[in-house]
Amino acid sequence: MAQATFPDDVLPPEGTYDSREALLAAIKKWAAPRGYAFITGRSSRSTSGRQIITYACDRWCRPPSVSKDRQRKTTTRGTNCRFSIIAKESLDKATWSLRHRPDGRFHLHNHEPSWHKSAHPVHRQLSDADKSTVSRLTNAGVAPKDIRTYIRQNSNTIATQQDIYNRIADSKRELCEGQSTIHAFANQLDKEGFWNRMRLDSDDRITAVLFAHPESLAYLQAYPDLLFLDYTYKTNKYGMPLLNMIGVDACQRSFCIAFAFLSGETEQDYLWALDRLRSLPPLLPADIRTPPTRIRGLQQGLADWNEFFNHWHSIMKSPDEKAFDQRVQEVERRYLPQYIEEVGYIKANCLDPYKERLVRAWVDQHPHFGNVVTWRVEGIHGLLKSHLKKSTLDLFEAWRAMKHTLLNQLAELQSNQASQQMRIPIELSGSLYSTIRGWVSHEALRKVEEQRKLLLKKHLPICTDAFSRSHGLPCAHTLKALQEQNQPLRLEHFHTHWHLNRHGVHRLLLEPRHRPDRIAAGSSTSRPQSSAQRQPSAFETVQATARPKAQPKCSRCHQIGHTMTSKTCPQRYEELLKPPAPSAQARPLPTTSSSAVSEGARSTSAMGKRCDTANGSRDWTKEEMMAYLDWSKAEDDRVEAQVAAEMERSPFSSRRGMHDIWEAAAADSEAQQAIHSQ
């Protein structure tokens, strides 16, 4: 097989360029299609201060020694190629000149040309715009493979996936600003305003980091009533568990309060994070919930887990202490003495010490606003993992990924609350909610609406105040009292947990009371309430009542004292004696009144008032008028027969719109004109 060779014009042409960058771009463009690339070999300065740069083939370096043992199996492009050119700066430092070296050894390559320019890293270099794009996409959490797809679709680069990885690594080093990642992490927390606390050991090694976004703390101050805590794992390369602290706003949306990377899951680690969080006044949550994990180990010991699980949920939903004791006794009768160790473990480690935190009879004594499970924390775990993507990140990289999650979440919370302040639920537009719309979340209003619907039932249970105490909302009994007094709900009826986070102070403004008009109510001639006309004053009503009414006048006989339908009218039945009105049918000329024919024909707009001829305008003759009336009658009969035949064929299956009807009428008119023009 013949060996590939370089073309005769392998050397770039000599010339002058405005800048060093323009010269370098020109020689790179020249070398790419010819199978080689230029790199900066060496540079120096002349005695006059001019800069001289040698641009050599990118394979100019010597290959490493083969005999030397290496830990890594690497490759080399070096062949000690002597091909090179000279670039000189002008004396006035305004231009650059490209010159060939006089020695012919520098005009030849000692290797074959490459078959594609992507073999040379110089030709795969990203432009400044592409580098900026890669950095932005990396900061946004876009995967490297997706970054490469975007770059190749929006630029002319031939960068490989490894080039994208290298650029991502460069951008991360730029963010560190020459520091270690842990120092960059600590400095960036302070720089971006994150509230943070760190715990160090005796060797100044970080053992715990707690941080929170300032907007998250503002949300916590607005909604400090609920706090969910749970660990998640595989978020960083150090194996430190991540403690998530979750809150709930008025719209029942979860929001991240703070995060803590801890060295372990001991009680000391847990209390350290809580103590630091409690140092922010007035952050004292009314209810703190953690996932129950003690009961999970019993699944292996009990034979029928589903049956036991039903018993367990029945115990948890006990409405009072008496029901709780009865359901515990049912479990004992079912599982004793066969599972005495398991039942004893449940009572000793779960029910006896923690029943006040688990069973509804005790839980409902505290405000939990409908949040009695920890599924919210599991959802936040999944959200974080979708942004972290891998478990080998350092703390700086993990924080940057979590920051994007946090900022997106805060934006969604703000948008949702702003939307609820402006929008009104259609099903909650009654007067009962008139003063609190825009100040209380839709979720709270809908829960109150469920209580209002209980009033539609025949029997309302006795009020135990459990709903209002646990949810912070008015119960059905409170709503019943308000409806009886014709009063709307007020902001004080709702716990502050349900208040929307908005500026300003709520002012109670009620609609005016309806003032009935006693005079108008007793009058049968008063205007309807929807009328905007002025109601007559009291004296006007009295004068109108005292003033005698005018006598009616008959419109038939024109006498005063009765109407045309009155029995006293002498001409009441005069119309019965009149002859019937003449029909539109054509009659013989001798028996037809000239005036009647003229009026009937001229009343048709199609005929017109006068006949226009070549000699001028004249009146229609009697024969012409009668002929037109006969034609009009025949045309009406033809159209009616056509419509009747069409309805008989398909009465309603092919009903047409006005457009089709007008088109059919126009086609029929053209057909009739064609017949009469023959």
Partnered with residue 2 across adjacent β-strands are none
Comparing 61 with 619, which gets the higher pLDDT? 61
608 torsion bin: left (phi>0), alpha (psi -120 to 50), beta (else): left
Length of the chain, in residues = 678
16 Cβ contact list (under 8 Å, min separation 6): 95, 96, 97, 98
41-89 residue pLDDT tens: 899 998 888 999 999 999 998 888 777 777 778 888 899 999 999 999 9
User: Of all helices (H) and strands (E), which one includes residue 86?
Assistant: strand 84-89
d(CA 250, CA 267): 31
The confidence score (pLDDT) of residue 648 equals 73
Q: How far apart are CA 243 and CA 267, in angstroms?
A: 13
Residue 482, CA distances (Å) to 132, 197, 255, 477, 488 in order: 63, 50, 35, 9, 7
Element (H, E) at 246: strand 242-248
Q: What integer best gives the mean pLDDT of the chain? A: 81
590 prior amide bond cis, ω within 30: no
What's the pLDDT at 163? 92
Side chain identity, residue 176 = C
- What is the DSSP code string of 616-676? EEEPPPHHHHHHHHHHHHHHHHHHHHHHHHHHHH-SSTT---HHHHHHHHHHHHHHHHHHH
DSSP 8-state symbol, 551: P
Closest CA to 262 of 293, 231, 289: 231
Q: Please, are residues 486 and 432 in contact by the beta-carbon 8 Å criterion?
A: no
Stretch 24-48: mean pLDDT: 92
Instruction: Provide the residue ranges of all domains of the chain, joining segments of one domain with +.
Output: 15-63+75-124, 128-176, 182-286+375-415, 294-363, 423-498
pLDDT > 50? residue 585: no
Residue 452's H or E segment, with its range, is helix 442-453
How does residue 300 score in pLDDT terms, banded at 50, 70 and 90? very low
Q: Which two tokens stand for residue 73?
A: 């199996």
CA distance 96 to 105: 24
Confidence band (pLDDT; 50, 70, 90) for 604? low
**283-297 per-position pLDDT tens digit:** 545 455 555 544 444
What phi, psi does 124 have (nearest 5°)?
A: -95, 0
How high is the pLDDT of residue 351? 81
Q: How far is 115 from 122, CA to CA, in rounded Å? A: 15
Q: Calculate mean pLDDT across residues 481-502.
A: 86
Residues 172-192 have pLDDT tens digits of 888 888 888 899 999 999 999
> Among 225, 200, 227, which residue's Cα sits nearest to residue 212?
227
Alpha helices by DSSP H, 547-621: 594-602
Q: What is the pLDDT of residue 302?
A: 44
pLDDT of 556 above 60: yes
pLDDT at 530 over 80: no
Q: Which residue has the higher pLDDT, 531 or 435?
A: 435
Instruction: Give the three-class secondary structure for 517.
Output: coil
Summarize pLDDT for 331-390 with one digit per residue, the tens.
888 888 888 888 888 888 888 787 777 777 777 777 777 766 667 778 888 888 888 888
178 conformational bin, left if phi > 0, alpha if psi -120 to 50, beta if neither: left
Cα distance between the two ends of the chain: 92
pLDDT(4) > 90: no
Cβ(476)–Cβ(534) below 8 Å: no
Predicted pLDDT at 603: 54
Separation CA 604–CA 629 (nearest Å): 9
The H-or-E segment that residue 42 falls in is strand 38-45
Q: What local confidence, expressed as pLDDT, does residue 514 receive?
A: 60
Q: What is the CB neighbour count within 10 angstroms for residue 566?
A: 14
3-class secondary structure per residue, 323-376: HHHHHHHHHHHHHCCCCHHHHHHHHHHHHHHHHHHHCHHHHCCCCCCCCCCCHH
CA 603, CA 637: separation in Å to the nearest integer? 19
As a whole number of angstroms, the distance between CA 254 and CA 375 comes to 10
Cα angle for residues 582, 587, 591 (degrees, 5° grid): 85
**pTM (2 decimals)?**
0.60
What are the tokens at 127?
């432009």
The per-residue pLDDT for 298 is 42
| CA 259-265-271 angle, 5° bins | 65
DSSP string, 118-154: GGSGGGGPPPHHHHHHHHHHHHTT--HHHHHHHHHHH
Q: Extract the tokens encoding 668.
A: 């029929």
pLDDT surpassing 60 at residue 401: yes
Residues 506 and 491: their CA atoms lie apart, in Å, by 8
Strand 287-289 to strand 616-618: parallel, antiparallel, or no bridges (unpaired)? unpaired
What region, left, alpha or beta, does residue 616 occupy, with left being phi > 0 and alpha being psi -120 to 50 degrees?
Answer: left
Tokens of 284: 């004292």
Q: How far from chain centre, in Å, is Cα 518?
A: 54
